[in-house]
Structures are given as structure tokens and as C-alpha cells.
Structure 1
Amino acid sequence: MSDSSLYDPIELETTTFDLIVVGTGLPATIIAAAASASGKTVLHLDRNHFYGSQFASLQLDELTSFIKSHATPPSTIIGSTSTSSSLDYTALDVTLRSVYSNIETANYAPEILANQFSKFLIDLGGPRVLLCADKAIDLIARSGVGSYLSFKSIDVSFICDESGRLSNVPDSRSAIFKDKSLSLIEKNQLMRFFKLVQQHLAASAGDDGGNESAKISEEDLESPFADFLKRMRLPPKIKSSILYAISLADDDQDHSEVCKTVLKTREGMERLDLYQKSVGRFPNVPGALLYPLYGHGEILQGFTRRAAVKGCIQVLRMPVTALLMDKQTGQYKGVRLASGEEIFSHQLLLDPTLTVPLPPASSSPNLEETLQVLSLKGDKRKVARGICITTSSLKPDVSNCLLVYPPRFLFSEQDTSIRAIQIGGGSDKLAVCPSGMFVLYFSGLCDDDEHGKRLLHAAMNALLTLPVSANRESGSAVQSEDADVKPTLLWSTLYIQELTTAHNGECENIFFTPMPDGNLNYNDLVDSTVALFQKMYPDEVFFAETPSSPVEPDNPEDDTELSLDS
């Protein structure tokens, strides 16, 4: 039996809810807030002492502890819970599954970081940004969560060119004219291409003044975007910038025979449109990209507050130890908590780190059938994530920036983009690390742990240098002509994260939320979260309330900080 004496009872006024949500990741908190806004009674539980699950922003010691706990989890959350106090239903143990592997942590400057660990807010699912016109920003404004949040602008985007140098991404009219690395001919080529995109999108949308003849042919729209850019005769640097730094393609688009996900021209145009609409959308944000002032965990905290305002009951430090299933029908009835309490609900939303093993062979066929369809499907690919801390910036006078290494630019077997975001700390910067320090996030899709680690190490070696005492192998880092100014690495952790998709199509009452994906923005996660809510509540409107003033600058004299007010 589980030791319920370790956990105090919640002492709820009712033991039956419309929805129980287990885990406080971003999709879970969005659905909890949306369901609460629709008038549903919601109980939101998390076994951790903090909000966020795999989407949290954590202090350094919390970060490493959380990753390790989800690399080799216990077989059950708390003891055994297989017995039931009722003759009508059976209790099935909830178990934790491993979602992280191949963890590698190094502290090269313990004397510097000794008193700084609590001053960091590190994103567990980074690197991640918001585009000023993307679905996440629209959701934040529409739901009223914007009143809880503030953002800073990402100063600039860089892309690695064929010579190994980091060059500015020409992502706007202003950036094109300022880019000294582009010739006048190249600038004109890029401007003409952007104009072509705008004319096509205007014609496709039926906007006034749109010219039907400006539409790109259906044949071209269905062709690979890389081929279309080649037909436009764009120079390699511009083509690479469009594919990997603006359209944010993952795989090597120039080699279709090995490309796992080919970006079609139609989707490429949509991504360009999103990026161009993001540039200059807010008067005090010059670029396209935003970062939350207190890390990405603050976004889900905003939705948590929104849910609480609408009556959602939230309880931390309370594991769910078992699911209560009807013995005869196999239908979900409720959950058993670590406190020993049994709580019932019409629907259940589970964190992707939780699984329910198949019942004993003696169980009813209906129960066994329910548990067989209630599963998570593992993606064949994984995402390699790396976090580094330095005391100097990658570029002088640049605090927050995005960097992209296109496929094959670091080593010949690099078949996917490697993306990195540098975030600087200080009173006038983001409040995620101490003043004078910088956090650098890396990520790249991979097929296995070994390949993922190679991606991370290649990017780290290209950008950073180890302290002399730590660099045991002479020449182990990639050297360049400006190697003497590369930031020195103080601390790092690398890990491989599983990518899973919830199989929510055949079980009526139990659903799973998705893990953080390998994308830079939240668009796919927002889409999957909205689709999940609509499957759970097909007759409800997803955040029906619309704030009257969705976007206002927090301080007109501050050209970088933005808040989305309700």
C-alpha cells in the first residue's frame, strides 16, 4: 500500500469534477484555463513543487535534479495501489516513464557559480522564442493572459555562412539595406523576392489590389521550397537564410533523398508571411522575435493564474498514484491520490511522463481494450538540448540573439539545423540570469543519442572555449581566427529528450498532453492543444472572451519591453 501519511489530504468540498488535469506543462495549463473559462469544474494536480513540468523555467539545481528524476524514474510513483475500496472499479498503478537520456553536466567554475544557482531561470524546453504575429501571441492576447506577462525583443538573428562566420540574417527591408555583406545586386534580388511573396499572398487572400497573375502556380507551390528558391536564382547565403533562419526548416532541404521532412513552397510562403508580419508588429519591438521577461515558464504561469481566476483548484506536491476504472465496462471513473483520497471526474488529462500498464490477464476484456488504446506513440526522432553559461557575449554589444547552423555547415553528417539562442542577464535585460552572465540554449533533431550529442558538441565547440584547466585534449575544440574572443564556458548540461505524440483518438475520457517539440516557436503545440480541447469539448468555444485592448506597450519609452494587456 502507498504511504498516504506522507501527504496531507486536500479536503475538497466535492470529490467529483468535470475535468482532472495531471501535470502543469503548457498544453495542460492552457486546457485547464480554457475549460475553467467555459464553466467546467477543474482540479489541476502536479507531483512537483513547482509549475511547468517539462515546460518549466527552473533554477540550476532544480533543473539538473528534475532531468535526472525523469531519466531513471521509479517503477511506480508511490508504492502499490492495486487494491480498491469499491466492488465497482479497480485501481491501476500509474507509473513514470523516462523522457530524458544521456545527461551530461559539467561545472567548470564552481567558485563563480557557487552563490548564483538560485538567480537563474533556465528553460527546460529551450531554445524557444515567440514570433510577434504567431499563434501563441494571439492566444495570449485573446485569453487575457497577456496582463500577467512582459516580453523583451531578441536583438538580432545570425546564420553561419559557408566560411564559418556568423552573418546577420537579412530578414527585413531595414536589415537588407544595412547588411554590408550583401552586394547591391544581392540586395535587389532579395527585395524582389520578398515583393514576389507579398504579391502572391495578397492575391491568394483576395485583398484589394491583389493581382491574380501574381499568384505562384499550383505546381510551384507543391514543389520543394529549396527548388523554388533555386529557380529564383537567389545566392547561397540568401537561400540558406530563408530556408533555415526565417522559414526555420529542420532537415537538409538540398538533398531530398535524405531529407526526412521536405518543406513545400506553399508552407515556406506561409512561414515567410508569418515572419514578415512579425517584423515591426509592435512599435517598440524592431525585430520579429520575443522572449518572456522571466523565461518561458512565465507563460504557463499566466495560464495557471487565468485558470485560478475562473475557479480551477490547483494542488502541487500531490502525485496521482492510480486510475480508477470500472471493472465491467473498462471506462475511466477517477483517480487515487498519494494522500489516499479518491477523486472522480468525467474526463482526465494526463502528463506525457505518466503511463498506465496493461491490467492483469484476469481483468475484463473491456478494461484491457481500453488500456491498449490508451497509449503514447513514440516519435522515431528525438531532440538534443544543451544549456551553457558564460560571462561574455558571442558578439560585442549583443545581449539576446538567435543563431542558426544550417545542415552540413559544421560537419558532413550534420543532417539537420542546429539552433541556438543567447539570453543576457541584468537589470536592463531579461531577468533569467545574473547581471554580466549569459545563457546559451542549443537544440537539434536527432535519430539517436550519439548523433544528438555530436550535434550539440559541434555547435558548442564552434562558439565557445573551455577553461584551460578543463580542456584536457589539445585541439578538441574547433578553432577559428577569432578563437581568442570566444566566450569561456562556465557550466553546461546536455540531454536528449524523447518526442512523443498522444494517441487520443480512441479513448473517450482519458487524454495525454504533448511533450515540448523540437520547434523554435509554439505554433504546432498551440495547434495540437486547440485540437485536443476541441476533441474533449466539441460544443465549447476555446477562450470565447476577447480583450478589448489586446496589445499595448508596457512603457513607451522602453524600446524593448512589451506587455500584452487585457
Structure 2
Amino acid sequence: MSDSSLYDPIELETTTFDLIVVGTGLPATVIAAAASAAGKTVLHLDRNHFYGSQFASLHLDQLTSFINSHATPPSTIIDTTSTSISHDYTVLDVTLRSVYSSIETANYAPEILADQSSKFLIDLGGPRVLFCADKAVDLIVKSGVDSYLTFKSIDVSFICDESGGLSNVPDSRSAIFKDKSLSLIEKNQLMRFFKLVQQHLAASAGDDGGSESSKISEEDLESPFADFLKRMRLPPKIKSIILYAISLADDDQDNLEVCKTVLKTREGMQRLDLYQKSVGRFPNVPGALLYPLYGHGEMSQGFSRCAAVKGCIQVLRMPVNALLMDKENGQYKGVRLASGEEKLSHQLVLDPTLTVRLPPTSSSPDLKETLQVLNLKDDKRKVARGICITTRSLKPDVSNLLLVYPPRSLFPEQDTSIRAIQIGGGSDKLAVCPSGMFVLYFSGLCDDAEHGKRLLHAAMNALLTLPISANPESGSAVQSEDAEVKPTLLWSTLYIQELTMVHNGAHENIFFTPVPDGNLNYNDLVDSTAALFQKMYPDEAFFAETPSSPEEPENPEDDTELNLDD
């Protein structure tokens, strides 16, 4: 029997809505905001007491609690109701999915971190950045969410070179000429290649500066990008920078036998275009990358505020215990809340941390078939994520940086890129950790937990001094020749995140939002979310453009601004 007395009822004038959204992950909050902006009545619910779900930025104790609570077996029921047939509906229990596994948490400095937990805002889905010219930034500006967010720039990007050292990633003409790690020949080669890219993109866009002869052939565009770079006679170092630090390829592009995702030249050109357009888009951002001042969870909160302004009703700490389905035809009708209330809606969007129990054997065949295809399935690949806390930067005088380890750069069997972001805390830095501390995020695509953990440990061992002793709580560290130049690890957690395959459309009224993927930016997630909204509301604009007043500039590029903290 469900103890609904633990939850206060939602006292509303209506029990029926156009849309109910369950979960406050970034895609869910975007859908709620877009639907509210389109004039739909929206009820937005979350069982957590914070916004963001898998996209949240959490305090240390919240982080470990959330990960562990979502690592339980999928069969664990999150409510005490049972699947049944009521007078009006078939009632289907909602349960938690197992989205994290192989969790390893170590605290080597409990005396230092004991009073600091609430001063951290740790991203569950890191490492993650925004490119200054990417789709997420455009969406933030278009929706008006930029009023609620502030960003800082990532100072510099590095890539691990053939010798194991860290080299700067030159992201502009001036950066190429200033880079002392590149020879004059390498600088000229890189400049010529960037010019080739710009001429091709200009010609493809029909700009005056490009001619048809400047276009790269269709055959080359459909070929692997690695092969095209080889035909351009670019040396391995330059090729690696373009493939893995700028184009952000995941797999080993030189070994097609093990490469699971081949980057074609066409997409490689698009990624280079995004990178080059991002550099210099905002006057006080020196590079291409941005980071939210209070962590990536602020983006979910920003879109939630946008939705609330448009009339969306939001309720935290309110689990959805069950779905209500028509007994005869299996059509979705509404949800049953932990408070015991039933709320009805025309459409439902579910967080991917949830799943729906199969109907009882007495249910109609139509309902059984619907639920069989409705629930999410795990992808074959996973994302290994690691979070580390240190008291020293990886590079002197640099707080915020991106680091890429290309395939094979750490060990021979490393067949995928490992990406890391360091974020520094303090009054003049990002407000995600205490002053004088740094958070390091790692990620890499993997086939299983053993593979993923090997990726994470290899990167951590290359960058950090790992504390060991008979008593790990003492915080003593390994002594080596380079111990004084490596930051010492204070705390870490490693975990494997499942990637799920979403087949929205299996049920015409029930949809799932996407999970955090293995990408560095949000472009794919923005595309998936926009496509989901258009499937739900094909006749509505995904955040309609606000008509410009006579005083506003006609060129939309002129008024594209973000709150940027200098």
C-alpha cells in the first residue's frame, strides 16, 4: 500500500494538461520551456529536490548519493503500488533504471573536504563545454535563457603529443604563429589547410569570397577525414590536432578495423567550421569554448525558469508512481503521483532514468505490444566518467583548460580518445569549487566497465600523483621524480554510464528524453531535443523568433550576447 501521506497534494484548479514532463534533465527542461512558449499547459515534475537529473551540478555528498541511487538493479521498484487494473485504467508501475555501474569513490583527504562539500557544484555528465558558435549557445540566446546564465571561457586547450608531452592546440591564425611547439614548416602547413577549409566553406555557402573551384570534391567529402588529411600531406602531429583536438573524433581514425565511428571529411569540415567560427565570436572570450559559471546544471535551471515565466507549473520532490493506460486500446491517459493524485495529459515526456513495468497478463494485446517497444534499451557502448579534486593546476597560471588524449597516446590498446577538463575555483574564477581547488573531469567511450576504467586510470596516472598508504585516509602520496609537478589527488569517483537507445514514436503520446552522451558539446542533444519537440508538435515553432523592434539591429549576429564573467 502506497504511503501517500509523505507527499502533499498538488492543489491545482485543473487535473488535465496538454503535457506532463517527468524529470528536469536539460532536454526535459528545454521541451517544457518550448511547449510553454508555444502556449501549451505544462505540468513539470521531478522526484529529486534539485533540477537537472543526469545533467545536474551537485554538491559532493549529493553527487555520490545520486549515482549510487541510480546504480540499483532495474527491477527495484521506486514506489509501493502494484501493477493492476483499476475501474478506469490499467495502472503500470514506474521504476528506476540502472544507469550507473562500477562506481569507485576514494577520499584521500577527508579532513580537508569535510567542510567543503556544499562549496562544490560537480557536473554529473562532465566533461562538457559549449562552443561559442554552437547550437546550444544559439538556443540559449533564441529562447531568452541567456538572461539567467553567466559563462566564463576555457583558457586554453592541450593535446598529448607523440612524446607524451602536452602541446597547445592552435585555434586561430595568431595562435599558430605564436605557438613555439610548431616548426615554421608545420605552421605554414596548418595555415594552408585552414585556408583551404575556409575557401571550401565559403564556396559551399555561396559567399562572394569562394568560387566553385575552391570546393572539395564530393568524392573527397564522402571519404574518411583521416584519409583526406593524409592526401593533404599533413604531418602526424598536425593531423592529430585536427582530428582529435579540433574535430573531436572519438575512435582511432587510422585503424578502420577497430574504428566504430568513422569521421567523414564532410562532417570534419563542419566541425572545423564550428571551431573557427567560435574563436572570436565574443570579444572577451579569447578561445572557442565556454563553461557556465555555476556548472552545467545551471542550464537546466535556466530553461526551467524560462518555462515558469511562460506558465509551466513545476513541482520538485514529487515522484510519479505509475502510468494510467486505457484498458482496451492501451492509449496513455495520465499519471499517478506519489501523493495519490491522478493527473491527466494529452502527451507525456519521461526522464530516461525511468522505465515502465510490463502490464499484467490480463491486459489487452495492444497494451502489451505498446509497452514492449516503449521502454529504453541500453546501447552497446557506454561512457566511462571520472571526477577528481586537486589543490594544484595541471598547468601553472591556468585555471580552466581542455585536454585531449588521442587514441594510442597513453597505451597501445587505447582505441578511443580520452577527454579531460580542468575547472578552477575562486572569487575570480568559476564558482564550482572552493578557492585554491580544481576539479578534473575525464570521459571516454568504452565497451565495458573494465575497458572504461582502464581508460580513466591511464589518464589519471599520467596527470596526477595518486595517494597510497596502508591507511588511504591519511592522504600520503607516491614519491617520484615528477611528484612535485603533478597535482596530488584529494578525492575521486569513477563510474560507467549507460547510453540508451531512444525510439520515440513507438507510442504516439509517450516520449523519452535523451541521456548525456559521450560528446564534449551539446549539438547532438540539441538536435535530438528539437526533433522530439517537432514530433510532438509538428505545427509549432521550436522557440519562435521574437519580432525585432525598430530600435533593434537587423542583423541577428549583432545582438547575439551572453553574460560573460571577465
TM range (shorter): over 0.9
Deviation at 1:470, TM superposition (A): 6.9
CA separation in 1, counterparts of 2:112 and 2:358? Answer: 50
Could you give the per-residue CA deviations for residues 389-444 of structure 1, whole angstroms, max 9, x where no partner exists? 00000000000000000001101111100000000000000000000000000000
Contact 2:150-2:562 at 8 Å conserved across structures: no
CA distance in 1, matches of 2:321, 2:30: 24
Given the superposition, is the C-alpha separation of residues 89 and 468 from structure 1 closer, same or farther in structure 2, using an over 3 Å criterion?
closer
Q: Deviations over 1:366-390 (max 9, x none)?
A: 1112112212132110000000000
2:543 aligned with 1:552, yes or no?
no
Of 402-411 and 503-512, deviating more is: 503-512
Paired amino acid for 2:99: V
Change (3 A) 1:355 1:498: same
Per-residue deviation at 1:237?
Answer: 1.2
State the partner residue of 2:217.
217
User: 1:557 matched to which residue of 2?
Assistant: none
Letter in 2 for 1:407: P
The equivalent residue for 1:531 is 531
AA in 1 matched with 2:561 = E
Deviation of the 1:552 alpha carbon: 3.4
In structure 2, the CA distance between the partners of 1:418 and 1:3, relative to structure 1 (3 Å rule), is same
Q: Structure 1 residues 326, 37: CA separation in 2 closer, same or farther (over 3 Å shift)?
A: same
Query: What does 1:19-418 align with in structure 2 at a 5 Å threshold?
Result: 19-72=19-72, 75-83=76-84, 86-418=86-418
Secondary structure class of the residue paired with 2:502: strand
Instruction: Tell me how far apart the structure 1 counterparts of residues 223 and 386 of structure 2 sit (CA, whole Å).
Output: 34
Q: Is 1:17–2:17 an aligned residue pair? A: yes
CA distance in 2, matches of 1:468, 1:547: 61
Q: For residues 12-39 of structure 1, what are the alpha-carbon distances to aligned partners after superposition, in whole Å with 9 as ceiling and x for unaligned?
A: 1110000000000000000000000000
Match of residue 556 from structure 2? none
SS for the counterpart of 2:376 is strand
Residue in 1 aligned with 2:467? 467
Matched-pair contact (CA < 8 Å) for 1:108–1:470 = no
Q: Rate the CA distance shift 1:309–1:168 in 2: closer, same or farther, 3 A.
A: same
Counting only pairs closer than 5 Å after superposition, residues 447-486 of structure 1 correspond to structure 2 as 447-467=447-467, 469=469, 482-486=482-486
Q: What's the secondary structure of 1:229's corresponding residue?
A: helix
Alignment deviations for residues 531-551 of structure 1 (CA, whole Å, 9 cap, x no partner): 000000001000003385743
Contact 2:467 / 2:478 at 8 angstroms: preserved in 1?
Answer: no
Superposed CA deviations along residues 124-156 of structure 1, whole A, max 9, x for unmatched, are 000000000000000000000001111000000
- CA contact under 8 A between 2:84 and 2:360: conserved in structure 1? no
Distance 1:434 1:209 in 2: 49
Matched, 1:561 2:561: no
Residue 205 of structure 1 deviates from its aligned partner by 0.8
Aligned residue identity for 2:174? S
- Note if contact 1:284-1:553 (Cα within 8 Å) is conserved in structure 2: no
Shift in Å, 1:483: 4.0
How far apart are residue 53 of structure 1 and its match? Answer: 0.3
C-alpha separation in 2, matches of 1:512 and 1:37: 20
- Deviation track 1:274-307 (CA, whole Å, cap 9, x = no partner) reads 0000000000001000000000000111000000
Per-residue displacement from partner, 1:26-68 (whole Å, max 9, x unpaired)?
Answer: 0000000000000000000000111100000000000000000
CA distance in 1, matches of 2:93, 2:257: 45
Q: Distance in 1 between matches of 2:93 and 2:422?
A: 42
Q: Distance in 1 between matches of 2:545 and 2:31?
A: 15
Whole-angstrom distance in 2 between the partners of 1:157 and 1:444: 17
CA deviations over 1:77-104 (Å, ceiling 9, x no partner): 11124345x5231111111110000000
Partner SS, residue 373 of structure 1: helix
Displacement of 1:357: 1.9
1:63–1:122: 8 Å Cα contact kept in structure 2?
Answer: yes
Q: For 1:64 and 1:140, locate their aligned partners in 2 and report how far apart those are by CA, in whole Å.
A: 29
Q: Please give the secondary structure, in 1, of the residue aligned with 2:370.
A: helix
* Aligned equivalents of 1:470, 1:162: Cα separation in 2: 36
Tell me how far 1:495 sits from its aligned partner: 0.2
Q: Decide whether the 8 Å contact of 2:97 with 2:354 is kept in 1.
A: yes
Farther-moved stretch of structure 1 (336-345 vs 86-95): 86-95
Code of the residue aligned with 1:501 in structure 2: it is M
Moved more, 523-532 or 348-357: 348-357
Asked whether 1:491 is paired with 2:471, we answer no
Report SS of the residue matched to 1:485.
coil
Conserved 8 A contact 1:144-1:547: no
* C-alpha distance in structure 1 between counterparts of 2:133 and 2:547, whole Å: 17
Conservation of the 8 A alpha-carbon contact between 1:384 and 1:496: yes
Determine the C-alpha separation between the residues in 1 that align with 2:197 and 2:114: 52
Normalised by the size of structure 1, how large is the TM-score?
0.95
1:186–1:45 distance in 2 versus 1, CA, 3 Å: same
Identity between Structure 1 and Structure 2 (%): 87
Q: Name the amino acid aligned to 1:552.
A: E
Distance 1:470 1:285, change over 3 A: farther
Decide whether aligned partners of structure 1 residues 480 and 151 sit closer, same or farther in structure 2, where only a CA change above 3 A counts: farther
- Counting matched residue pairs gives 552
Displacement after TM superposition at 1:175 (Å): 1.3
Answer whether contact 2:83 2:360 (CA < 8 A) is retained.
no
Separation in structure 1 between the aligned mates of residue 40 and residue 487 of structure 2, nearest angstrom: 51
Separation of aligned partners in 2, 1:88 and 1:3: 22
- SS of the residue aligned with 1:387? strand
C-alpha distance in structure 1 between counterparts of 2:547 and 2:319, whole Å: 35
Shift of the alpha carbon at 1:479? Answer: 9.8
Contact preservation (8 Å) 1:152, 1:291: yes
One-letter identity of the residue aligned with 2:294: Y
Structure-2 separation of matches of 1:360 and 1:553: 52
Amino acid at match of 2:565: E
Q: Normalised by the size of structure 2, how large is the TM-score? A: 0.95
1-structure distance, mates of 2:144, 2:470: 48
Gaps of 5+ in 2: 553-558
Aligned residue type for 1:109: A
Query: Is the alpha carbon distance of 1:360 and 1:150 closer, same or farther for their aligned partners in structure 2, counting shifts above 3 Å?
Result: same
Once residues 169 and 271 of structure 1 are traced to their aligned partners in structure 2, the CA distance between those partners, rounded to angstroms, is 15
Alpha carbons of 1:27 and 1:470: their partners in 2 closer, same or farther (altered >3 Å)? farther
Is the Cα contact below 8 Å between 2:466 and 2:478 reproduced in 1? no
Deviation by residue 1:482-539 (Cα, 9 ceiling, x = unmatched): 4431000000000000001211122100000111000000000000000000000001
The question of whether the paired residues in 2 share the 8 Å contact of 1:419 and 1:442 is answered with yes
Aligned residue for 2:105, secondary structure, equals strand
1:321-376 alpha-carbon deviations (Å, 9 max, x no partner)? 00000000110000000000000000000011111122122111111121122121
Letter in 2 for 1:278: S
Name the CA distance, whole Å, in 1 between partners of 2:301 and 2:205.
36
Amino acid at match of 2:79: I
Aligned AA (1:219): E
CA contact (8 A) 2:83 2:359 kept: no
Unaligned runs of 5+ in 1: 555-559
